[in-house]
Structure 1
Amino acid sequence: MPSPSPPVLPISEHEDEIVAAVDTNPVVVVIGETGSGKSTQLSQILHRRGYTRRGAIAVTQPRRVAAVSVSRRVAQELGVPLGDEVGYAIRFEDRTSERTCIKYLTDGVLLRESLSNPDLKQYSVIILDEAHERSLNTDILLGLMKRLVKDRASDLKVLITSATLDGLKVSEFFSGCPVLNIPGTLFPVEKFYSTERPTNYIESSLRTAIDIHAKEPPGDVLIFMTGKDDIDKMVSKLEERIQNLEEGSCMDALVLPLHGSLPPELQVRVFAPAPPNCRRFIVATNVAETSLTVDGVVFVIDCGYVKQRQYNPSSGMYSLDVVQISRVQADQRAGRAGRTRPGKCYRLYPMSIYQKEFLEATVPEIQRSSLAGSVLYLKSLNLPDINILKFDFLDPPSRESLEDALRQLYLIDAIDENGQITDVGRIMAELPLEPSLSRTLIEANELGCLSQALTVAAILSAEITLRSTRSKDMEGKRKRQELPDGSGWGDHIQLLQIFESWDQTGYDPRWCSDHDLQVRGMKLSKDVRNQLCQIIQKIAKGAPIFCTGR
């Protein structure tokens, strides 16, 4: 099958303007409307213009699913195998080679690379994409890029790209750098509001989806849900309702989920065109707001909510809360209906809530997260002029959050009473884990149970969830009862026992399927465990460690 030729997108018309700005400025802000092509085309433009002759182009993404999907698209457009000239790197997975000159990577991976190579000399261009999402890592990278362009003014170019970011604010942060505005191809989108907030947004989304399918002309439907659980329910119920429709009353339908933990082979289906005479329903998290563009969408259903992690420094605890989206997010969602032709957006909330209750923009992650990992990272850079409490952030976190992070790190021996990083802290910083998990592994090694702690850390990092099966038959129930239950010691011991049971089968994928465990997630936990073991052995350099065995 021939590779698709690069599409003619709005950004292509501005190629000369972009290259001229990059040639003459160390930092350029590119505000590209949704659909302008900034994520896939900017790297290719700079590659064509010779910027990869003296280093690779790094393009950061806040989300793993976007790093993988966009790199795959760019490789297709350039007609090269993924992992050669074009590749990606996400936590615990690296598909790059010595030939890679365009590299898509999560912002967290770029931060980790800077630990071993603070000047990031391997890159001639660093593009911070989707900066409007204001992820914690992107905000730290903005501060580090500000420092780095001073040290590498002659041989580094930095581009900050976004669909909605306040360009003037970022320009001021980078000493008045130029801001380029690239229009997108957006058709008008008609917005419909509910008269009141529905008591159940899944049921309301379901009714709206069936109404569209029965009454509207062809065109795909994008339904925004808050997370994987909602998506699974919605996909199941929507498939059932569509099957119960009178035969011949509607065109065919295909229901597809889209979220971060979906296996790559299932993600790809979302980007393939719909079969003839068939409407696709894509049920997605906010990954489809700006990070990924799904062609063919004409109708959007917006429940008005998003799942957001919130950290409370007082309790030291995270909560995963369903909260109202911002007006910026609502507008992004609506804009997804106007990519290919005029569209419609069904908002499951009244206009008064949009106008009076929604925040103007999303609260940056840095102002609602634990900063322990970020502070440990900054400490490990050994930059004498960095004062953590005065670090140059685009939007500074509260002093309470920073002090909480310092307190947490002190309690787990990562920093001393003077705030200096300790030897233990340096080891922790080299592990791609939350500080508390890193410290657990170090302590487990001292106590001779590193092998078991590695297994638990790997499963937690792979985000394995114990799903309830849909199977109602007795055989399914019998098999489920065979899963270890933790022997009363809690979830972590249960996860350890599950992995050890799988290990005893020789890592047979059928065992996972029989017990309704995600095969891909379990395989990932095995790979993560091996990688963590290798990292620890490299750090230890001959010191006694006990990470082999079950």
Structure 2
Amino acid sequence: MANLPIVQFEEKIIKTVEQNPVVVIIGETGSGKSTQLSQMLRRSGYSKSGIIGVPQPRRVAAVSVARRVAQELGVRLGEEVGYAIRFEDRTSEKTCIKYLTDGVLLRESLANPMLNQYSVIILDEAHERSLNTDILLGLVKHLITIKKSNLKILITSATLDGEKVSKFFSDCPVLNVPGKLYPVEILYSKERPKSYHESALKKALDIHVREPEGDVLIFMTGQVRVFSPPPPNCRRIIVATNIAETSLTVDGVVYVIDSGYVKQRQYNPSTGMYSLDVVQISKVQANQRAGRAGRTRPGKCYRLYPSSVYNDEFLDVTVPEIQRCSLAGSVLYLKSLDLSDIDILKFDFLDPPSSESLEDALRQLYLIDAIDENGQITSIGRTMAELPLEPSLSRTLMEANEYGCLSQALTVAAMLSAETALLPGRSKDTEKKRKQNNLDLPDGSGWGDHIQLLQIYECWHQTDYNIDWCKVNGLQVRGMTFVKDVRKQLCQIMEKIAKGPLDVRRSRRWRENQQDYYHLRKALCVGYANQLAERMIHHNGYRTLGFKAQTVQVHPSSALKPDEEGKLADYILYHELVATTRPYLRNLCSVDIKWATPIINKINKVNVNKLSGGVAHVDDGKLSDLPKKDAAAGAPDDHENRIQAARERFLARKGKK
């Protein structure tokens, strides 16, 4: 048994859990809450009535902590102790302790909204206030309120506002567990530096020259690998993002340098635009960072900002993700649950998102046929929710299946799901390398980035997925391998949804197929109905449609280029609208005006008040209920017909009752 502070409180914790459906545990840094709580509950017999689930906000934490617990129990990872993250499941029928991401748990709840497979759920690192964790907090509160579940809920954190969460759960008990943290000396700068990059480097070199042995952890806004051990007789200087603030101990760290900043992705629902902004951290984050220096011995934290900045400018807590991101996927999830008494706009959040964000999500879902004009989820929407993708890509796959180009759409979805830059030309260094080696990767045939991504993957497929081909062409090997695995799993999920095999074969002798490109672009147009843009005649840019009337530009990295006459396509779809030095459209594909016209007409008829309707289900149909169209003959461009047909089937059934 691990010698950690939380173990001393085992009897008290178990007794409190037995007597209460929800318990908040504030475990200070180093207390052992992430690894020991699940083992305590297993020893007390909770694993006999179900799985002990421990959702984490981060993939790396779910994997690493599961590995640690398996090691402590002396079992093989994937058997009694396992983990599940998006596109990777290391569990079995023997698994009784399961670490997983909060997103995976949400997806599991679609099949089982009561979460009956679990006896206990430990919401770990809740202070990070990830979008999925906040949704889970609302969901488990709903389950406990309706008193239809024997589920036990533990909410753990090192810095969470326990009183606030306790009040949210009807004054549930709060237990405080001390940590195993050595003293950390906090040293502030006299003034804010002109460049925190230069200041951090200077401080790291100063520590190396003047301070005793011990690794240095620098919190910056961009990241490298942090868990690799150093060579002998070397001092590591580790640069990390906020990923190193919680959950995991980076062994050997004695000195922390805190820049006071973090990169934060933010979404503006009024413009539909994402921005990746460098913002000041909160006091909670600053304290978490300082705590990293005292995990193994007394340490020092050098803050590259004055104490007045910490006291007067830093927010007390981090702004919850639910208040700074697009909610389309979350709203679709909530509407997909078999819990008819859930009202989206009245759903009980710990910190509610703005009504503007919810309305924006409803508009998005309506335009891609996930909900009807009364806000009721459609059969299409329910199927979309079963796919571990953002709504635009889920809708694209469904439409591609009807158009006979599912194989190509699966590839595009997998390439866009890779959480890293895969391609040369997306960074200055790889662009230089590409020019030096005269590489000749596909260019998208003039249609744009989605087609280029498809062509690149198909070229790799033609080489039997040769890793050397990726290296020669400057492609990220690990990322491309991840894409291959994702594509395989998406194919399996689609077959499961369709209840049978689908046509996802690819020709070994790959060649450009203009007809496939035609149908793929049509499917993408349906999936990205909320993300269309019209070229401005008098500007070298585009006006985004719908509720985002603004002029933006094509990102310089895009494969979409002007034609021989120097003209860009009249209409395009975009995967992302981002604000950097200026507003840019990223990952683009040209579309035909006749495909866009029905969508534009639909945009003009949106009534948000009606979209906020109930959560009744229109149709219980699955993907297999949707007839596959003759790809050679083409397909109707007006998707209103299919929605109307679904509506008529619903009314017909209702009339028979």
Q: TM-score range by the shorter chain?
A: 0.7 to 0.9
2:479 aligns to what SS in structure 1? helix
The alignment status of 1:143 with 2:138, answered yes or no, reads yes
The alignment status of 1:424 with 2:419, answered yes or no, reads no
C-alpha displacement of 1:351: 2.2
1:57-97 CA deviation, whole Å, 9 max, x = no partner? 00000000110111111111111111111110000000111
- Between the aligned partners of 1:485 and 1:532, the Cα distance in structure 2 is 25
1:295 aligns to what SS in structure 2? coil
Match of 1:512 among 464, 467, 470: 470
Q: Which residue of 2 aligns with 1:383?
A: 339
- Between the aligned partners of 1:332 and 1:509, the Cα distance in structure 2 is 40
Q: Which residue of 1 aligns with 2:354?
A: 398
- Between the aligned partners of 1:312 and 1:288, the Cα distance in structure 2 is 28
C-alpha displacement of 1:318: 1.6
Residues 47 and 275 (structure 1 numbering): CA distance in 2 closer, same or farther, change over 3 Å? farther
Match of 1:547 among 504, 525, 529: 504
- Between the aligned partners of 2:442 and 2:303, the Cα distance in structure 1 is 44
The alignment status of 1:325 with 2:320, answered yes or no, reads no
C-alpha displacement of 1:472: 11
Structure 1 spans left out of the alignment, 5+ residues: 1-5, 232-256, 259-266
Q: Is the 8 A contact 1:11 1:38 kept in 2?
A: yes
- Between the aligned partners of 2:331 and 2:445, the Cα distance in structure 1 is 37
- Between the aligned partners of 1:505 and 1:376, the Cα distance in structure 2 is 39
Q: Is the 8 A contact 1:10 1:37 kept in 2?
A: yes
C-alpha displacement of 1:473: 10
Q: Is the 8 A contact 1:26 1:153 kept in 2?
A: no
C-alpha displacement of 1:152: 5.9
The alignment status of 1:82 with 2:77, answered yes or no, reads yes
Superposed counterparts of 1:112-123, under 5 Å: 112-123=107-118
C-alpha displacement of 1:480: 6.2
Q: Which residue of 2 aligns with 1:98?
A: 93
C-alpha displacement of 1:15: 0.8
Structure 2 spans left out of the alignment, 5+ residues: 508-657
Q: Which residue of 2 aligns with 1:130?
A: 125
Q: Which residue of 2 aligns with 1:450?
A: 406
Q: Is the 8 A contact 1:464 1:522 kept in 2?
A: no
Residues 535 and 471 (structure 1 numbering): CA distance in 2 closer, same or farther, change over 3 Å? closer
When the two chains are superposed, the root-mean-square deviation of aligned CA atoms in Å is: 2.1
C-alpha displacement of 1:8: 0.8
Residues 419 and 280 (structure 1 numbering): CA distance in 2 closer, same or farther, change over 3 Å? same
Q: Is the 8 A contact 1:71 1:88 kept in 2?
A: yes
C-alpha displacement of 1:129: 0.3
Q: Is the 8 A contact 1:149 1:157 kept in 2?
A: no
The alignment status of 1:197 with 2:153, answered yes or no, reads no
Q: Which residue of 1 aligns with 2:454?
A: 496
Q: Is the 8 A contact 1:64 1:90 kept in 2?
A: yes
Residues 394 and 533 (structure 1 numbering): CA distance in 2 closer, same or farther, change over 3 Å? same
Q: Which residue of 2 aligns with 1:411?
A: 367
The alignment status of 1:64 with 2:21, answered yes or no, reads no
Percent identity among equivalent residues? 75
1:473-508 CA deviation, whole Å, 9 max, x = no partner? 98x755462333334433322222221111111001
Residues 346 and 489 (structure 1 numbering): CA distance in 2 closer, same or farther, change over 3 Å? farther
- Between the aligned partners of 2:430 and 2:153, the Cα distance in structure 1 is 52
Q: Is the 8 A contact 2:430 2:474 kept in 1?
A: no
What letter is aligned with 1:183?
P
Q: Which residue of 1 aligns with 2:533?
A: none
Residues 352 and 495 (structure 1 numbering): CA distance in 2 closer, same or farther, change over 3 Å? same
- Between the aligned partners of 1:488 and 1:175, the Cα distance in structure 2 is 59
What letter is aligned with 1:438?
S
- Between the aligned partners of 2:294 and 2:450, the Cα distance in structure 1 is 46
C-alpha displacement of 1:518: 2.4
2:66 aligns to what SS in structure 1? helix
1:133-160 CA deviation, whole Å, 9 max, x = no partner? 0001000100111122345677321100
Q: Is the 8 A contact 1:480 1:515 kept in 2?
A: no
The alignment status of 1:160 with 2:155, answered yes or no, reads yes
Q: TM-score normalised to the size of structure 1?
A: 0.87
C-alpha displacement of 1:470: 6.0
2:452 aligns to what SS in structure 1? helix
The alignment status of 1:179 with 2:188, answered yes or no, reads no
- Between the aligned partners of 1:480 and 1:293, the Cα distance in structure 2 is 44
C-alpha displacement of 1:277: 3.4
Q: Is the 8 A contact 1:469 1:516 kept in 2?
A: no
What letter is aligned with 1:84?
E
How many residues align? The count is: 504
What letter is aligned with 1:405?
A
Q: Which residue of 2 aligns with 1:370?
A: 326
505-514 or 33-42: bigger deviation: 505-514
- Between the aligned partners of 2:148 and 2:45, the Cα distance in structure 1 is 18
1:548 aligns to what SS in structure 2? coil
Residues 134 and 16 (structure 1 numbering): CA distance in 2 closer, same or farther, change over 3 Å? same
C-alpha displacement of 1:525: 0.7
Answer with 1 or 2: which has the greater Rg.
Answer: 2
Superposed counterparts of 1:471-490, under 5 Å: 478-479=436-437, 481-490=439-448
1:481 aligns to what SS in structure 2? coil
1:279 aligns to what SS in structure 2? coil
C-alpha displacement of 1:276: 5.1
The alignment status of 1:46 with 2:49, answered yes or no, reads no
Superposed counterparts of 1:521-536, under 5 Å: 521-536=479-494
1:103-137 CA deviation, whole Å, 9 max, x = no partner? 00000000000101112111111100000000010
Match of 2:213 among 186, 210, 218: 218
1:187-246 CA deviation, whole Å, 9 max, x = no partner? 222222223333332222222111111111011111112124xx4xxxxxxxxxxxxxxx
Match of 1:107 among 102, 107, 110: 102
- Between the aligned partners of 2:154 and 2:352, the Cα distance in structure 1 is 21
Q: Which residue of 2 aligns with 1:297?
A: 253
- Between the aligned partners of 1:73 and 1:288, the Cα distance in structure 2 is 17
- Between the aligned partners of 1:199 and 1:495, the Cα distance in structure 2 is 40
Match of 1:437 among 383, 393, 400: 393
